Amino acid sequence: MTWVRELGDYVRLIVRGPIIRQTREVASGSTLTGDEGFIIADTSSGNLTYTMPKSQGDGRELEVLKLGSNTLTINMYSGDTILGESDVKIYADGEWTALNLKSITGGWTPV
């Protein structure tokens, strides 16, 4: 299996073989299920907002790939935080930005 995603004029993401973690391209207003391991958030058409699943504090990691030049807002599940905040905004002028998050007790932390 080959999965291809264009990341602008000069970058192409190609995955050959099986993707072990569930990959999901999120739409604005989505709430993640907790089964995802890799999220693609395409902000090329406008700002995007989604909500993280409840942190289980089990060390599970979630990778977020933000495409496009608009803002991505990641809301935490009710009661969870990320570095003490209830949400995080990713602003980027480039074609893409990556963020790795780890589930800890009471929320998520960048790794």
CATH code of the region 20-110: 2.60.120
CA 102 – CA 79 distance, rounded (Å): 16
Global pTM reads 0.76
**What SS3 class is residue 58?**
coil
Instruction: List the chain domain ranges.
Output: 20-110
Q: How far is CA 52 from CA 12, 77, 94, in A?
A: 27, 6, 24
Q: Do strands 48-51 and 72-75 pair parallel, antiparallel, or not at all (unpaired)?
A: parallel
Q: Do strands 2-6 and 12-16 pair parallel, antiparallel, or not at all (unpaired)?
A: antiparallel
Tell how far CA 10 is from the center of its chain: 22
Give the HSE-up count for residue 65: Cα atoms under 13 Å, Cβ half-sphere.
16
Q: Residue-wise pLDDT tens for the chain (111 aa)?
A: 555 566 666 556 666 655 556 777 776 778 888 888 888 888 888 899 999 999 999 888 888 988 888 899 999 999 999 999 999 999 876 778 888 899 999 999 998
